[in-house]
Amino acid sequence: MALDTRQMRYFLEIAEQGSITRAAQVLNVAQPALSLHLKTLEERLGTQLLIRSRSGVTPTEAGQVLMRRARAILDDMARTEDEIRTLDADPAGVVRVGLPGTISALLTLPLIKAARARYPRITINIAEAMSGFIAGWMSEGQVDLAVLYNRSSAAGVMARPLLEEELVVLWPANAKRPEVMALSELRDEPMVLPSAPHGLRQQLERDLGALDIRPAIAMEVDSYANIKALVAAGYGASVLPRHAVQAEVAEGKLGISRLAAPGLWRQAVMVTPTNRPVTRAQQAVQDVLSQVVADMLANGDWSGARAVSP
């Protein structure tokens, strides 16, 4: 017997919540009924889908496969319904946007305000994380579009340049450091950086490697807020976009050094999928996001950023 959409929706909610109890509350379904549903589903498929423990449930390998497939099927059905309903109306529906933390703090409010003013029937859900995580969400279909760094078009995705950001070196506020320094001066400097999968770390290792320098990693932290806090507390230096630290610099919590010409820049791109349908609502949000970024650059609202050279 084929799976129906209710079975997929129930299983996906249990797996994503990591708890049958929480899933039952979200779905407004009695917990015993939901447990029976899961047991019946596993018997029908002839394999265990979730591992039960006192702390909740986690998907098995088979469960992970079903999660990916169920999410894609349910998303595609929702998009189909949205397209049919809105053929003769303004775009409507939910659009999930993945943003790195440094950009989310700057872009979320103007993006939502502009989208709400132009397309009141569209709801934007913002998912914030470091770019390495967001790239994974894009490939798994958990976000509909994203802003990522230093990405090119590849199988399944299209990347369109938005802007270039200047990267600066962060120091504790009381550190005696130059206003401008050479990248080579980071040799042997203890650094607080994201872990290896993330674009910022990869770019810094690549640019330092060109100078035959390996960064001296004091700590690996996959959180921009915690990187700034650790630098302020004296655990090492770091490198972040200038706009992402301007508030802490103004408050006297951090100091910065700009890097000597040509400086250190990274490109932010809007990434969209090419291997699944794009709804009218998603296309509308893509257009709004591009325009909002262009307006912010033109108005000087994005400190340390510049338009991408043609």
Q: What is the pLDDT of residue 2?
A: 67
Q: Match 């959180």 to its residue by tokens.
A: 223
**Cα–Cα distance measured from residue 104 to residue 20, given in angstroms and rounded to the nearest whole number:** 32
Q: What is the pLDDT of residue 1?
A: 54
Between strands 180-181 and 254-259, the pairing is parallel
Q: Are 192 and 237 in contact (CB under 8 A)?
A: yes
Higher pLDDT, 290 or 4: 290
Residue 3's pLDDT band, with cuts at 50, 70 and 90, is confident
Could you tell me the pTM of the whole model? 0.70
- Sign of the CA dihedral 224, 229, 235, 236? positive
Q: Is the pLDDT of residue 153 over 80?
A: no
- Average pLDDT of the chain is 91
* Mean pLDDT confidence for 102-121: 95
Q: What is the pLDDT of residue 133?
A: 85
Residue 84's pLDDT band, with cuts at 50, 70 and 90, is confident
Highest mean pLDDT among 65-79, 229-243, 269-283: 229-243
218: left (phi over 0), alpha (psi -120 to 50) or beta: alpha
Distance of CA 290 to the CA centre of its chain: 17
Q: Match 């338009």 to its residue by tokens.
A: 307
Residue % of the chain over a pLDDT of 70: 98
Range in 81-95, 133-147, 197-211, 238-252 with the lowest mean pLDDT: 81-95
Q: What is the pLDDT of residue 86?
A: 66
Q: What is the pLDDT of residue 80?
A: 80
**Cα–Cα distance measured from residue 185 to residue 237, given in angstroms and rounded to the nearest whole number:** 12
pLDDT digit string (tens) for 176-198? 899 999 999 999 999 999 998 78
Higher pLDDT, 231 or 102: 231
Q: Is the pLDDT of residue 158 over 80?
A: yes
- Three-class HEC string of the chain: CCCCHHHHHHHHHHHHHCCHHHHHHHHCCCHHHHHHHHHHHHHHHCCCCEEEECCEEEECHHHHHHHHHHHHHHHHHHHHHHHHHCCCCCCCEEEEEEECHHHHHHHHHHHHHHHHHHCCCEEEEEEECCHHHHHHHHHHCCCCEEEEECCCCECCEEEEEEEEEEEEEEEECCCCCCCEECHHHHCCCEEEECCCCCHHHHHHHHHHHCCCCCCEEEEECCCHHHHHHHHHCCCCEEEEEHHHCHHHHHCCCEEEEEECCCCEEEEEEEEEECCCCCCHHHHHHHHHHHHHHHHHHHHCCCCCEECCCC
Residue 118's pLDDT band, with cuts at 50, 70 and 90, is very high
Domains and CATH numbers, the chain: 5-82 (1.10.10.10), 94-162+271-302 (3.40.190.10), 163-266 (3.40.190.10)
- Which pair of structure tokens corresponds to residue 168? 């600066």
* Mean pLDDT confidence for 9-35: 91
Highest mean pLDDT among 81-90, 104-113, 137-146: 104-113
How many C-beta neighbours within 10 Å does residue 140 have?
13
**Cα–Cα distance measured from residue 81 to residue 86, given in angstroms and rounded to the nearest whole number:** 9
234: left (phi over 0), alpha (psi -120 to 50) or beta: left
- Which pair of structure tokens corresponds to residue 288? 């709004």
Range in 99-103, 166-170, 190-194 with the lowest mean pLDDT: 99-103
